Amino acid sequence: MNHDKEYVIRLSDFDLGQLINGLEVRADAWRYTAAYFETGKTPDGFMLEECNGAHEAQQIEAHYRRIIRQLIEQRAARSPA
């Protein structure tokens, strides 16, 4: 799988905020999944993500957090001072 290809996507500030929010929800789901594997407990109403354990869940969460961080940094760089 090639991870070197980059895309330029144009979104309104509102839509970018919605995208970031959705990614945060996904990252939280992976964080809760990792916590479940470590403690056996989850928040009420939470559905586990399918994975091989806490380590994999933490890696996936970290990947989502990296994407979120990049989007926030790019938005900040384009915002007027």
Q: Cα–Cα distance between 81 and 74 in angstroms, integer?
A: 14
Q: Cα–Cα distance between 36 and 77 in angstroms, integer?
A: 37
**pLDDT tens readout for residues 28-45:** 999 999 999 999 988 888
Mean of the pLDDT values across residues 5-26? Answer: 95
- The pTM score is 0.87
pLDDT, position 81: 63
At residue 12's C-alpha, the angle toward residues 63 and 1, to 5°, is: 30
**pLDDT tens readout for residues 42-64:** 888 888 999 999 999 999 999 99
